[in-house]
Amino acid sequence: MKIQFLGAAQTVTGSKYLLSANGSRVLVDCGLYQGVKTLRLRNRQPLPLAATAIDAVVLSHAHIDHSGFLPALYRQGFRGPVYCSPATLDLCKVLLPDAGFLQEEDARYANRKHFSRHSPAEPLFTEDDAQRVLRQFRVLETGLAHPLVNGLGLRLVPAGHILGACSLVLDDGHRCAVFSGDLGRSHDPLMRAPEHPGHADYLVVESTYGDRVHEVIDPEQSFAKLICETIGRGGIVLIPAFAVGRAQLVLHILQKLKARGAIPDVPVYLNSPMAIRATDIFCAHQTEHRLSREDCEAIDEGTIRVRTVEESQALTRSSYPSVIISASGMASGGRVLHHLKSLVGDHRNSVVFVGFQAPGTRGAAMVAGAAQIKIHGGWFPVRAQVHGLDALSAHADAGELLDWMRGFPEPPRHTFVTHGEPAAADALRLRIKDELGWRVSVPEYRDEVALD
Ligand SMILES: [Zn+2]
């Protein structure tokens, strides 16, 4: 067995690991790089092998930084199967075509403004590529070992995090490699705790919050407090949220707070067509999360869905006190930008970030206290209150990652720490070495290691 790190090496995006075993090549996750430009440019770099030489892709979950390069791989000639859990397929059906649409939009915009070095600018992939690669998906039941190719087997183990998210266990009959995927929290209000894969000869573990422990606060209470304060001074609460995962958690918490009278009965808007569809998919997979049918009905009844562009524009013009949830979660694009433009300059309003903010994104700049932000080419002063509620994150913190690793009956022969910024990955590496006494390293982009 051999592994090559083609993404998420000392960064949080672009998850992509090439596993070679028994003469076959399997790509574990196929994510898009996001955030700073030097990373985004890697989406355009050729892979070290032809896409046609990849036998199969396996996906840990649907988030674009794990699945979003698939349509590009299709464009480069990949025609093999893509294995994942049933909910991951349902979410990819929403996320991938939308990602293709955005790529085409970006290329059109670059051509209109003539700022592309390539003329005309070519999209990395299109909505049509996304629709076509979706036909190659094969869903697998979780918990069981499935044969993939040439004696290589795959087992999906639920990992919390978001609907359908799994850790991946790949076994070539000789060695078994475990990929944690993104690990959820042990006491998430929305998702069940991650299950444990049991045994690993080699482990690839995420480290998004490898240098941090989430505050022990009651996120509902902090949420209620800042909503009451904002509404009390006549302001609007804007929550940029990932369409899949945190948007559903925020909607659930808001309904609970309203039901017990902890916040005023102001309108709650969900302004993201993708988050609207993701919420429907979430509620359709009733057995895979912690919310009851009644909880889902409460979300349904208590949320005003903003679907059309006209409705969205009307909401942007409104100054009536309300709560607005809109994507994207790091304010890097989407409808949330229009709300930011109209709300961020007024001290009465609040902007609440509820997930990890990758470096280079507007969200990261705002949480760090930026005095002004650039949107659509113009600068806007930040006078609204900006909050970062890490306690609502869908990622395990350092302590929870270590607890999950303590579940292995014996130390893996080697552990690779990925999916974290350099400081976070290295902090987790040190704790694994010192507290667990395991052999561990932080691989670099394109490192290749034999798994004997
Ligand atoms: Zn994720």
Give me the pLDDT at residue 134, please: 98
Distance in Å, CA 177 to ligand 1 centroid? 20
Rounded distance from Cα 248 to ligand 1 centre (Å)? 14
Q: What digits encode the pLDDT tens for the residues 224-235?
A: 999 999 999 999
Q: 63: CA distance to ligand 1 center in Å? A: 5
d(CA 313, ligand 1 centre) in Å:
30
Measure 117 CA to ligand 1 centroid, in angstroms.
32
Ligand 1 midpoint to CA 149 (Å)? 26
For residue 419, the CA-to-ligand 1 centroid distance in Å is 10
User: Which residues fall within 8 angstroms of residue 292, CB to CB, at 6 or more apart?
Assistant: none
Q: Where in the chain do CATH 3.60.15.10 domains reside? A: 2-212+394-450
**pLDDT for res 117:** 62
The two structure tokens encoding residue 326: 């809109």
Q: Quote the ligand 1 centre to 20 CA distance (angstroms).
A: 24
Tell me 28's DSSP state: E
Q: Which pLDDT score is estimated for 382?
A: 98
Alpha carbon of 414 to ligand 1 centroid (Å): 24
Distance 61 CA to ligand 1 centre (A): 7
CATH 3.40.50.10890: which residues of the chain?
Answer: 219-392
Query: Rounded to the nearest whole angstrom, what is the distance from the C-alpha of residue 231 to the centroid of ligand 1?
Result: 32
Q: Looking at the chain, how many residues does it have?
A: 452
Selection from 121, 127, 96, 124 nearest residue 108 by Cα: 121
What's the gap in Å between 113 CA and the centre of ligand 1? 33
Task: Using the mean position of ligand 1's atoms as its centre, give its distance from the Cα of residue 258 in Å.
Answer: 29
CA 394 – CA 415 distance, rounded (Å):
23
| d(CA 114, ligand 1 centre) in Å | 34
Architecture of domain 2-212+394-450: 4-Layer Sandwich (3.60)
- The answer for residues whose C-beta is within 8 angstroms of residue 128's C-beta and 6 or more apart is 100
Give just the sign of the alpha carbon dihedral 318, 324, 327, 331: positive
Euclidean distance between CA atoms 325 and 323, whole angstroms: 7
Compute the distance from residue 190 Cα to the ligand 1 centre, in Å: 15
Ligand 1 centroid distance, CA of 115 (Å): 32
CB 350 within 8 A of CB 237: yes
Q: Which two tokens mark 28?
A: 């574990």
Distance 181 CA to ligand 1 centre (A): 8
Helix or strand (DSSP H, E) at 404: helix 398-405
125 C-beta neighbours (distance < 10 Å), count: 26
Q: How far away, in angstroms, is 62 Cα from ligand 1 center?
A: 7
Contacts of 221 (CB under 8 A, 6+ apart): none
Residue 385 alpha carbon to ligand 1 centre in Å: 27
- Measured in Å, residue 156 CA sits from the centre of ligand 1 at 16
CA–CA dist 253, 258 (Å, integer): 9
Cβ-contact 190, 255 below 8 angstroms: no
Per-residue burial over 6-40, b = 16 or more CB atoms within 10 Å of its CB, e = otherwise: bbbbbbbbbbbbbbbbeebbbbbbbbbbbbeeebb
Give the model confidence (pLDDT) of 158-208 as tens digits: 999 999 999 999 999 999 999 999 999 998 989 999 999 999 999 999 999
What is the C-alpha separation between 132 and 135, in angstroms, rounded? 6
Q: How far is the CA of 123 from the centre of ligand 1 (A)?
A: 24
Low-confidence ranges of the chain (pLDDT < 70): 114-119
Compute CA distances 372 → 137, 238, 345, whole Å.
43, 17, 9
CA of 399 relative to ligand 1 center, distance in Å:
19
C-alpha of residue 133 to centroid of ligand 1, in Å = 20
Say how many Å lie between the CA of residue 252 and the centre of ligand 1.
20
Q: How far is the CA of 58 from the centre of ligand 1 (A)?
A: 15
Q: How far is the CA of 11 from the centre of ligand 1 (A)?
A: 13
For ligand 1, the distance from its centroid to the CA atom of residue 23, given in whole angstroms, is 30
CB-based burial label for 96 (10 Å; 0-12, 13-18, 19+): buried
- Cα(182) to ligand 1 centroid in Å equals 5
Please, what CATH class does the domain formed by 219-392 belong to?
alpha beta
